[in-house]
Amino acid sequence: MTRDISQRKRDHLELAQDESLNFNFSAGFDRWRFIHNALPELNFAEIDTSCTFLRKTLDFPLLISSMSGGTEEAYTFNATLAEAAEQAGCAFGLGSIRAALEQDSARESYLVAREKAPSAVILANLGIAQVIEGNYLDQTAKFCRDCQADGLIIHLNSMQEVFQPEGEPHFKGALSAIEQWVHNFPLPIIIKEVGQGLSKQVIKQLEDIGVEIVDIAGAGGSNWVNIDAARLSEEQSTLKLAASEFADWGEPTAEVLADLQTKLTVIASGGLKRPLDLAKALALGAHLGGVAGALLKPALSGDAVEVLNVLQVWRETLKIAMFGVGVSSIPALSGNRALLQKINYV
């Protein structure tokens, strides 16, 4: 496979559909169940799934997690997702904008998002490797203004970089670089992993340097170690064989949430496969849930109606779950772990 950025993104979109490359274990939401409240003392019509994120109101606390950008196909892909996000009233995360910063021809595949979603929360996205380099801040800020982003995701992907054929596993100075961007970038910064998860120790480090929003992006869904290992050539057979040892490397999303005590705004993505997982993630302490895999195929086909249908099922499931446990608002649900019971498997 060619090694340019656009081809890499095409490879990723294709391989991300291969469920055999996912984690062999779940994100952990199946280990929790809601305790049914037979006396909810509220009417179903009273339930309000709305929340505030980055000074905008969402109809429900869901982020379409970053997937792609920078390819010819990504224009339709991002337009489809943005249109659905606008209609569903949720947030939308763009894929890495590095391609747009380095290739003018890639810009439109990102700029289309605001055109299709004039009022939605839209997040731009850049890898930590570019942040560490130190010469991307101004041009990133300018592009974020051009695409009218509400915030910037900086993604951490150390293990992915190791196994990516064109990887840049240079992470020395990452924490200091993040701190500089947090204090100098004109938009809110969100720090996320890409599928191996943020441990509570790393989240504490981020909190200490002024980060206010994190996305756990934990293990249990798409596995970028496996995906990029599948792209390795025969000449890289040693690395390809080593990848099998790291196929289950990572922090399951629900386990991180269940053990986390923080004042940060927490997005829980990574392995939210069923609509009820969103409600569980919120009860475990998340403020938003992030979903990608459930939307990938309809987005690739350009079917905004089907993407919207999926999002509406997730929203309705959340509303029904709230009724089932007797809470009428997202603040009453978020972090209310007393609503859940852990299932102990023998």
Residue 70: per-residue pLDDT: 64
* Confidence (pLDDT) at 6: 65
Average pLDDT, the chain: 93
- CATH number of the domain that residue 185 is part of: 3.20.20.70
At residue 69, the pLDDT reads: 65
pLDDT above 80 for 72: no
Distance CA 287, CA 122 (A): 17
| Residue 286 half-sphere exposure toward CB, CA atoms < 13 A | 29
State residue 29's pLDDT score.
97
For 180-216, how does the pLDDT look when each residue is reduced to its tens digit (9 = 90+)? 999 999 999 999 999 999 999 999 999 999 999 999 9
| Alpha-carbon span 136 to 28, nearest angstrom | 37
Q: How confident is the model at residue 2 (pLDDT cuts 50, 70, 90)?
A: very low
User: Percent of the chain scored above 90 by pLDDT?
Assistant: 82
Integer Cα distance of 309 and 339 in angstroms: 28
- Percentage of the chain beyond pLDDT 70 is 94
The angle subtended at Cα 287 by Cα 87 and Cα 96, nearest 5°, is 65
Count of structural domains, the chain: 1
Residue 35 DSSP code: P
Helices then strands, counting H and E runs in the chain, come out as: 16, 12
pLDDT category of residue 344 using cuts at 50, 70 and 90: confident
Query: For position 1, what pLDDT does the model report?
Result: 32
pLDDT in tens, 98-142: 999 998 989 999 999 999 999 999 999 999 999 999 899 999 999
Q: What is the pLDDT of residue 19?
A: 72
| Strand-strand pairing, 91-93 and 62-64 | parallel
pLDDT digits 0-9 by tens, 295-326: 999 999 999 999 999 999 999 999 999 999 99
- Out of 19-23, 158-162, 276-280, 302-306, which region has the weakest mean confidence (pLDDT)? 19-23
CA 235 remoteness from chain centre: 33
Provide the domain limits for residue 153: 5-342
Q: Is the pLDDT of residue 5 over 70?
A: no
The pTM for the full model equals 0.94
Indicate the SS3 state at residue 215: strand
Rounded Cα gap, residues 271 and 249, in angstroms: 14
- Mean pLDDT, residues 333-344: 96
